[in-house]
Structure 1
Amino acid sequence: MNRFEQFGLSPEILRGIHEMGFEEPSPIQDACIPAVLRGEDVIGQAQTGTGKTAAFGIPVLERVDPRQPVVQSIILAPTRELAIQVSDELRKIGRPKRVKTLPIYGGQSIGTQIKALKQGVHVVIGTPGRLLDHLRRGTLSTDHVEMVVLDEADEMLDMGFIDDIEAVFRHLPAQRQLLLFSATMPSPIRHLAQKYMRKPRYITVSRGEVTVPLIRQVYYRVLESTKVDALSRILDSEEVELGIIFCRTKKGVDELAEALQVRGYLAGGLHGDLAQPQRDRVMNAFRSGEIELLVATDVAARGIDVGSVSHVINYDIPQDVESYVHRIGRTGRAGKEGTAITLVTPREMKQLRTIEQETGVRLNPRELPSLEEVAARQQGTWMTQIEEVIREGSHSLFEEMAARLLEKFSPEKVVSAALSVAFSDRFAKFDSGYNFGETGAAPGMVRFFLNVGRNANLNPQELSKAISEHAGISPRQVGKINIYDRFSFVEVPEDVAPFVYEALRQSKINGSRINMEPARPRGKQESRA
């Protein structure tokens, strides 16, 4: 597969790609970037999580002339969240070239957006409705627009934006390049392509027939903010002989390897920026068992053939199904048992379901081990370490302190407290950053308010199913549900509430976009709604 350098990109864009930590194009990027750079209209059929943002974003940024403070590309996105996400990724890649991007969407002051447009913007990423507002007001000029992108076109169709999209197209120059990306190709999308595109190149990444080896495959629901702590707890509860931990970027490898080393794990990082002597040193240490955890990118892990890898851990979920299959195939070799663990954030549940669907294997959900379970598993290891220190006599520095403590407290309390101090870094309690407060829920539960009810043809079974699918929890875990004409309430257990909140507030149910927030104590929110 080509590296990014072989696309003939400018040094500034290559530097932006490098700073993002991308090492090698994903299949959709490898197919799309050359075609777009040649000036062809492109239809890309790709799922979320395949790297399609960079597939259109890199050539968009490459074509921008930063010396001209005018809008040169417009990207349409179905939601404010996606508009912000795309703008952020393009801003980071385009930073060395000084490309200015601006997300525009409803709910934000249009005056603020007008002011930003007047100051000079190169790429605008917006929702159809708000883009149309600016075009009709004359606050967004399309005179210099050369490229237009429709991202997640089928989502925009589902949300009823097809008329707005057509209205936006009527304001665009006749001579412009059009890129359309969609996970599915329903007839209205095909009609749109036929009407506005010129001999489009159709690109879809053929996944082919993917097979998965016989490996124990599990996943854990995690929040981005507590990912390292969650990984540490999993590592402490598993019997890892040698493990490979996959990260998406080189920067991610460096940060995770350092975080694990600080926590006392024998870990080393491997990615494409390492000099050959460094790579050899890390790999030799891994093969000999001097380091137990190899943190690596997909590219750096190619060619690694270590037969005794007991665990593969997807710290970042892979971009495509082939990568997942290649990753987990590094364990369970030569008839040995292997374990593949995937950490899944709320935004990645959809990608997990795609992997399951295309491999034909259902990954087993696991609850994160409790502190008590980890302590029970680690007791034998800790006792061995302490016995070795006693035999070696390397604890004399602390004998006077021990004697003074024993004058005040029983031996059991002193030893217990000393162990707590010694291993406290492994027992940090998760802080999800969420404090939902008093929501009027049953004990041990959190109650949420949703902005849809019977007006969206919602019933308790559908809501319970949606929570289960988006958050990956059992429908049996969903508590009391109250559905009214224009809003609903639902209770979920406290331990999964942050995950349910992050997963559902960005989703749709029956075609309606969900706004979710912690409920107020009973009575207050119902009367307000």
Structure 2
Amino acid sequence: MNHKFIDFKLNKEILKALNNLGYKNPSKVQEEVIPRLLNREDIVVKSKTGSGKTASFAIPICEKIDINNINVQALVVVPTRELALQVSEEISNIGRLKKIRCSAIFGKQPIKEQIASLKQRVHIVVATPGRIIDHIERKTINLDNLSYLIIDEADKMLNKGFIEQIDIIFKNSPNKKVIGLFSATIDKDIKYVCDKYMKNSSMVDIEDVEIINKKQIYEEIIKVEENDKYEILKKLIYLENPKSLMIFLNTRERVVKLYSQMKKDKFLVRELHGDMSQDKRIYVIKDFKEGKFNILVSSDVASRGIHIDDISLVINYDVPKDKENYVHRIGRTGRKDKFGKAITLVSNKDEKYINEIIDYIGYDIQEKEYIEENEVKKGKIKFEEYQRELLKNKKVRKPDTKIHSEITTLYLNAGKKKKIRVMDIVGAISNLDGIVGDDIGVIKVEDLCSYVDILNHKGEGILKKYKEISIKKK
């Protein structure tokens, strides 16, 4: 059945946002999940990476949000900080024209900033388990009006021992809420949550074929000696000539070591692992998305929840010991109808793990027998030329690409420390010529400044006409 988003009878602002974001037709998981969540059904979804599952719960949640209700109406619980930011960004983009505010809260981020954010009409919260419980215990978040509770990447979370925290979250939220549980696998821990809290849930099982289409991601393995891995890696990079490449390793120490080797060999490379500060990790991912470098060496911290649509090659420098991580790693390529390639380096000690992966995915992976040295030499010349181009372009500042062209975000140099509130900004801007309440979007008031979305293509006019505006006689 070929649905279109309009078939779900969505709000016109949501439909317009989806169009701006380039969503054409619903994916399989979206076709199955959106109508059920709109119909307020509890749902358990078995779906792997790259299937479009974030939008499958974000769209119905944004549709059902009452923007005039100042309380938190939906909570999405995720296992990692990266995923919290990624999911929050996607929800914000889908709901932005409807004036929905979404906030990401997670550990290692100042709690005072989060408390201040939660006081500002936040409709949806995306959070890691520990930090949301912290806010529940401090009574700095009110879940009494919660309509939707989504547990994303449930298998990852429950495997990490978060089951007690999930219990606390359920016990501190209303009984009458819609529950959506999304997981790559259904095991005893998932069944525990379903049996305890989801008595009448429906099950949606999206087949692996739908997500990892073998025609879309070409997979290979290369048998190597451990000591030869680095030289083989370099040859593969030159042979494949990827525009962008992610290399996965199993530990932080191995990431650091490989990153140092590649940097020494003048590759345009950065590292990503769990011991880096959150700000640094966000900065690295942003630069990778913007093409400021083309090789990211990472632990499994980047195997889930990082959506970069143009990764042309994934190399498993280490075979993952968790078979599900193989699926998540290679799912970084071949996204959104693009084609990609994944190559796994297999040493003798990895045989057991690669066999488990093959049993798990249900098909054989092609073995690459040899590397053509002449092609490697030609490829090296091309690849080094491409890296020089990247370095040259890095010095030229690219204009920011806008998703919603009808929105202009205004910066105001006054915030909470000057006693400015959201209602003060609304009052001041709605008094400007040609501006009505419907033209004012999401407002964010920080300590020293504020940000205001002006909708309906009216922001540029304000910028031209006014260099400053008066708020509370300031």
Query: What's the TM-score once normalised by structure 1's chain length?
Result: 0.46
Q: 2:156, 2:41 → 1: CA distance?
A: 24
CA contact (8 A) 2:218 2:341 kept: no
Tell me what 1:143 maps to.
144
Q: Structure 1 residues 189, 343: closer, same or farther in 2, change over 3 A?
A: closer
Tell me what 2:197 maps to.
196
CA contact (8 A) 1:19 1:93 kept: no
Deviations 1:105-146 (A, max 9, x none): 110011100000011100001011110111111110012110
CA contact (8 A) 1:149 1:180 kept: yes
**Structure 1: 5+ residue runs without aligned partners?**
223-228, 234-258, 260-294, 296-313, 328-340, 345-352, 379-423, 435-529
Tell me what 2:408 maps to.
none
Q: 1:75, 1:232 → 2: CA distance?
A: 31
Q: CA deviation at 1:70?
A: 1.5
Flag the structure with more relative contact order, 1 or 2, with Cα contacts below 8 A and sequence separation at least 6.
Answer: 2
Counterparts of 1:102-501 in structure 2, within 5 Å, are 102-207=103-208, 230-231=242-243, 317-319=333-335, 342=341, 357-362=361-366, 373-374=378-379, 428=388, 431=391
Q: Structure 1 residues 178, 433: closer, same or farther in 2, change over 3 A?
A: farther
Deviations 1:294-326 (A, max 9, x none): x9xxxxxxxxxxxxxxxxxx9983459xx68xx
Q: Structure 1 residues 113, 354: closer, same or farther in 2, change over 3 A?
A: farther
Q: CA deviation at 1:160?
A: 1.2
Q: 2:331, 2:372 → 1: CA distance?
A: 16
**Structure 2: 5+ residue runs without aligned partners?**
222-231, 235-240, 246-290, 292-309, 311-329, 344-356, 395-474
Code of the aligned partner of 1:48:
T
CA contact (8 A) 1:29 1:54 kept: yes
Q: 2:362, 2:22 → 1: CA distance?
A: 28
Tell me what 1:484 maps to.
none
Larger radius of gyration: 1
SS of 2:143's partner is coil
Q: Structure 1 residues 361, 112: closer, same or farther in 2, change over 3 A?
A: same
Tell me what 1:519 maps to.
none
Q: CA deviation at 1:99?
A: 0.8
Tell me what 1:98 maps to.
99
Deviations 1:428-479 (A, max 9, x none): 3555999xxxxxxxxxxxxxxxxxxxxxxxxxxxxxxxxxxxxxxxxxxxxx
Q: CA deviation at 1:361?
A: 3.0
SS of 1:119's partner is coil
CA contact (8 A) 1:26 1:319 kept: no
Q: 2:100, 2:128 → 1: CA distance?
A: 20
Tell me what 1:513 maps to.
none
Q: Does 1:88 find its partner at 2:92?
A: no
**Matched-pair identity in %:** 32
Q: Structure 1 residues 374, 163: closer, same or farther in 2, change over 3 A?
A: closer
SS of 2:35's partner is helix
Calculate the aligned-residue CA RMSD, in Å: 4.4
SS of 1:428's partner is helix
CA contact (8 A) 2:17 2:95 kept: yes
Q: Structure 1 residues 426, 212: closer, same or farther in 2, change over 3 A?
A: closer
SS of 1:50's partner is coil
Q: Structure 1 residues 205, 315: closer, same or farther in 2, change over 3 A?
A: closer
Deviations 1:354-399 (A, max 9, x none): 9993553347598999996158799xxxxxxxxxxxxxxxxxxxxx
SS of 1:69's partner is coil
Q: 2:244, 2:60 → 1: CA distance?
A: 39
